[in-house]
Amino acid sequence: MVKTERMHAGTAEPIPGFAWLIGVLAWFVPGLGHLMQKRWWRGLLMGGAVWLSFFIGLAMGGHMFDLNAPEGSSQYLQVPPMIANLGTGALYIISWLLSYGFADDPAQAARATYEYGNTFLLIAGLMNYLTMLDAFDIAVGRKP
Amino acid sequence: MMTLFAALASVVFGAMAKDTTQERVVYGFKVFAEFMVIGLVLAWVLYFIP
């Protein structure tokens, strides 16, 4: 019996493919991972917070980061904030494809809300990573 | 803006933590209060630092 218990403890249960799909979709469209699992309120609250934060950030004149470093700066310094921004999934990708929200010109930087906007955009991505992990945990069965 | 930031972040933290709805709501408000208090304290500390 002890041997059987040890064997059970040693083998981790495989994560179903559905959970990985939920994780990817939750990253790509904020809130979708919860909505697909019928966690309506949690999806609306968490996804809604990400969407709101993203659009408020853009409205404040914030800008997102990509690998194009401004003059006098290293490309590597762009990577950490880019990873944070990339958390918003499709919102980031669509903005990048449309070249919207990436301008970092002096006129925009002079706006009083510029830095606040940047922060809201960064936080939107980071919050969506948390939302994605929460949706994944629900799909795996680690959370109710 | 700080209040808005604290509200959005606490909604996410509150929704993903704890087990019951009541615990989540309480935790969300607690996180919101912590954001506000820490933000105000830091603002005053930085005000006196030249």
ipTM, 2 dp: 0.83
Q: What is the four-CA torsion angle of B42, B46, B49, B50, rounded to 10 degrees?
A: 170
Three-class SS state of B33: helix
In the predicted model, residues of chain A with pLDDT beneath 50 are 1-2, 7
Where is pLDDT greater, at B28 or A17? B28
Query: With contacts defined as CB-CB under 8 Å, which chain B residues touch A48?
Result: 11
Which of A41, A46, A60 best tests the B interface by mutation, with the highest count of B CBs <10 A?
A: A46
pLDDT score at A28: 96
> What span, in angstroms and rounded, lies between the C-alpha atoms of A103 and A63?
6
On the question of pLDDT at B43 being above 60, the answer is: yes
User: CB of A89 within 8 A of CB of A27?
Assistant: yes
Helix axes A79-86, A114-140, angle to 10 degrees: 60
Query: A95 touching B, CB under 8 A?
Result: no
In a domain, A83, yes or no: yes
Structural domain for A74, as ranges: 16-140
DSSP H helices, B1-50, are: 2-16, 21-48
In a domain, A74, yes or no: yes
Q: In the predicted model, what is the mean pLDDT of residues B2-13? A: 92
Q: How many domains does chain A have?
A: 1
Question: How many beta-carbon contacts under 8 Å exist across A and B?
Answer: 36
pLDDT digits (tens, 9 = 90+) for A9-36: 556 777 788 899 999 999 999 999 999 9
Domain boundaries, chain B: 2-48
User: CB of A131 within 8 A of CB of B9?
Assistant: no
Three-class SS state of B20: coil
% residues pLDDT > 90 (chain B): 74
In a domain, A23, yes or no: yes
pLDDT score at A72: 77
pLDDT bin (cut points 50, 70, 90) of residue B6 is very high
Query: With contacts defined as CB-CB under 8 Å, which chain A residues touch B5?
Result: 119-120, 123
In a domain, A98, yes or no: yes
How far off is chain A from B5, nearest CA to CA, in Å?
A: 7
Query: B15 touching A, CB under 8 A?
Result: yes
> What span, in angstroms and rounded, lies between the C-alpha atoms of A75 and A112?
26
